[in-house]
A and B are shown apart, each in its own frame.
Chain A
Amino acid sequence: MSVASQDTAIRTGRAVRVLIYLVLVLFSLFYLLPLYVMVVNSVKPLDEITGGGMMNLPQVFTIEPWLKAWSSAQIGVEPTGLSPYFWNSIKMVVPAVAISTVLGALNGYVLTKWRFKYDTILFGLMLFACFIPFQIVLIPMARMLGLMGLAGTTSGLVLVHVVYGIGFTTLYFRNYYAVFPTELIRAAQIDGAGFFQIFWRILLPSSGPIAVVSVIWQFTNIWNDFLFGASFAGADSQPMTVALNNLVQASHGVKEYNVHFAGAILAALPTLLVYIVAGRYFVRGLMAGSVKG
């Protein structure tokens, strides 16, 4: 898909190959199992699940759980379903992804093509910020959002995700621009292009692949975030993950497993879609970003 398949020099016998395929298929079943469980149980009535039929295909097919999860399930105190939280997540993710990607691109450009003293140290500081346990910033962040009047708002969450996403986007763009020939920048300088002209006319047109990687990475991370959402969101800005957790953990009433599964798929759908549609770039980016540091 992404890694160029190369002609491996290793030869294997027939029996060994059968074994290899067997193992590979068994593990693909392992990876698919939870998805299967979620999908089949989200379209069957509750009694089919509680009656020991979790692994069976639905006898009665129903989309009721999906509708309920989307629009009428009890989340916290309100029977609103997950839909308002879905839109909360969208409103948070889109600006956060856009801003962090633009900043990452500019940072990567400066850090590779306009190098200055101590730039590697600065980049190291940014990179380390990607890996800190976010518990260390929770308390001051809550205070800061309060001081800025952003406590419990979507804007506050956007700020948080931008701040802690810059390190990764900068890493991606820096690694990508590092192998972009510096002579091109010099040629453009001699041609009279300025800082932003070079970025806009020379670098950006060639940045498609890495921009896709950055967008997918940020989208996935921010959409899937739970810690910041649970810590900083207000009642009307909670993201999808927090709402899903509230739905599943609700201690009152009957546990509607089919609704839970439908809700889980709803929460997973955007990132899964992105992964399936643009997965090629995603994988390539993960590899470039992680193996090369």
Chain B
Amino acid sequence: MAMQANADFKTRLQTLLPKLVLSPSLALMLVFVYGFILFSVYLSFTDSRLLPSYGWVGFENYSKLWRLSHWETSLINMAVFASLYITICTFLGLGLAIFLDQKIRAEGMLRTIYLYPMALSFIVTGTAWKWFLDPGIGLENVMQSWGWTSFEFDWIKNRDFAIYTVVLAAVWQTSGFVMAMFLAGLRGIDNEILKAAQMDGASNWNLYRRIIIPQLRPAFLSAFVILSHLAIKTFDLVIALTGGGPGRATELPATFMYSYTFSRNQMGIGAASATIMLMTIAAIMIPYLYAELREKK
């Protein structure tokens, strides 16, 4: 009888263990992610400045935020940056993947070269490009010292063009990764379909346009989701490359939030901007994750 009860306890412990094991991670996540999100959202409705304070001010921070030209600038910059970054990365990644998929001799080596920037910190990337693009010592200086004295390339110091240097460095860093995603997609396509299409007389161009690229839909979707969330989170690269300048020419929401919260002591407005960033990412991620997880069931 005692044996029976013992066995029962053990069995019950076994059924409980999985949940016990999962619970620390769950607790961490609920507090540090979702609890914190709620707290930040709450702060965005308060009069917090240097430190959190709990005076309710309703939507005042949001209306202030939307009147700030600084915020408007960072949103416009984000629009320019994100659209170029996502488009260029996608097309470059797809193009390189298609080219690499043609039984290329040194494929392994080329792939390693395209991908290694992913392993670097944005701070390193920013530093390298910052000095390479610097008109004083970088490309412009080099070209002039090589005898092309009229050569000018001062984008990184130019308010109208600085944002494109951020695009350039960001594309350099992540396009190889997008290439890898598309390459995996290409390798996943059933070869028999391609053979059938060739029997049907499709040219290479049509093969890609009509058969292959449409089948890469999942890869396009993943690339878009990952690139857009990276774009919205871009912070370190701007800090290292331009520091948000010249002026506010490369200010993005992430850097805006950081400076309003930690250097300008406008925590309420900082929290409001962070909330808007979160909602933007959520609008992209939640439908995607929902679809992905449903499929798997």
Contacts and interface: CB of A to CB of B under 8 A. Distances in A.
Please tell me whether chains A and B touch each other in their complex, using a CB distance cut-off of 8 A.
yes
Nearest to A119: B22
Interface in B75-124: 92, 95-96, 99-104, 107-108, 110-124
A203 to B, nearest CB: 13
Name which of B111, B184, B290 has the most chain A CB atoms within 10 A of its CB: B184
B57 interface: no
B174 to A, nearest CB: 11
B278 interface: yes
Given A163-B33, A244-B123, A10 B233 contact: no
Contacts, number: 308
A131 B26 contact: no
A180 interface: no
Interface residues of A, number: 108
Interface residues of B, number: 115
Contacts of A279: 112, 115
Interface in B18-68: 18-19, 21-22, 24-26, 28-29, 32-37, 39-40, 43, 52
A158 B153 CA distance: 42
Contact of A1 (B40, B108, B118, B187): B108
Contact of A144 (B32, B232, B262): B32
Contact of B29 (A126, A140, A263): A126
Contacts of B158: none
A140 B39 contact: yes
A230 B259 CA distance: 12
A6 B114 contact: no
A101 interface: no
A241 B138 CA distance: 23
A276 B267 CA distance: 42
Interface in A13-57: 17, 20-21, 23-24, 27-28, 30-35, 37-38, 41, 49-55
B187 A110 contact: no
A270 B276 CA distance: 35
Given A32-B113, A131-B281, A291-B219, A3 B36 contact: no
Contacts of B34: 125, 129
B235 interface: yes
Contacts of B107: 1, 5
A136 B33 CA distance: 9
Contact of A135 (B120, B185, B274): B274
B257 A135 contact: yes
Contact of A223 (B24, B121, B177, B282): B121
Interface in B261-291: 261-262, 267, 270-271, 273-275, 277-278, 281-282, 285-286, 288-290
A54 B135 CA distance: 12
Nearest to A121: B293
B277 A136 contact: yes
What does DSSP make chain A's interface, helix, strand, loop or mixed? helix
B181 interface: yes
A132 B18 contact: no
A158 B104 CA distance: 43
Nearest to A286: B180
What does DSSP make chain B's interface, helix, strand, loop or mixed? helix
A61 interface: no
A267 B8 CA distance: 55
A174 B208 CA distance: 34
Given A1-B111, A143-B52, A178-B296, A12 B102 contact: yes
Given A24-B110, A34-B132, A52-B142, A195 B281 contact: no
Contacts of B213: none
Contact of B123 (A135, A140, A195, A226): A226
A122 B195 CA distance: 43
A139 B181 contact: no
A134 B292 contact: no
Name which of A9, A114, A136, A140 has the most chain B CB atoms within 10 A of its CB: A136
Interface string B203-221: 0100100000000001100
Interface of A: 1, 3-12, 17, 20-21, 23-24, 27-28, 30-35, 37-38, 41, 49-55, 103, 106-107, 109-111, 114, 116, 120, 122-129, 131-141, 143-144, 162-164, 166-167, 170, 178, 194-196, 220, 223-227, 230-231, 241, 244-245, 248-249, 257, 260-261, 263-265, 267-268, 271-272, 274-276, 279, 282-283, 286-287, 290-291, 293
18 contacts: A6-B191, A10-B207, A27-B114, A52-B144, A55-B142, A124-B290, A131-B285, A133-B232, A135-B273, A136-B40, A137-B32, A139-B52, A141-B32, A166-B28, A244-B121, A244-B123, A268-B120, A293-B289
Interface of B: 14, 17-19, 21-22, 24-26, 28-29, 32-37, 39-40, 43, 52, 92, 95-96, 99-104, 107-108, 110-125, 127-132, 136-139, 141-142, 144-146, 172, 176-177, 180-181, 183-185, 187-188, 191, 194-195, 198, 204, 207, 218-219, 222, 226, 229, 232-233, 235-236, 239-240, 243, 254, 257-258, 261-262, 267, 270-271, 273-275, 277-278, 281-282, 285-286, 288-290, 292-293, 296-297
Task: Name the 9 nearest CB pairs between A and B, nearest first.
Answer: A52-B145, A114-B18, A224-B121, A293-B292, A275-B119, A226-B236, A34-B128, A9-B194, A135-B274
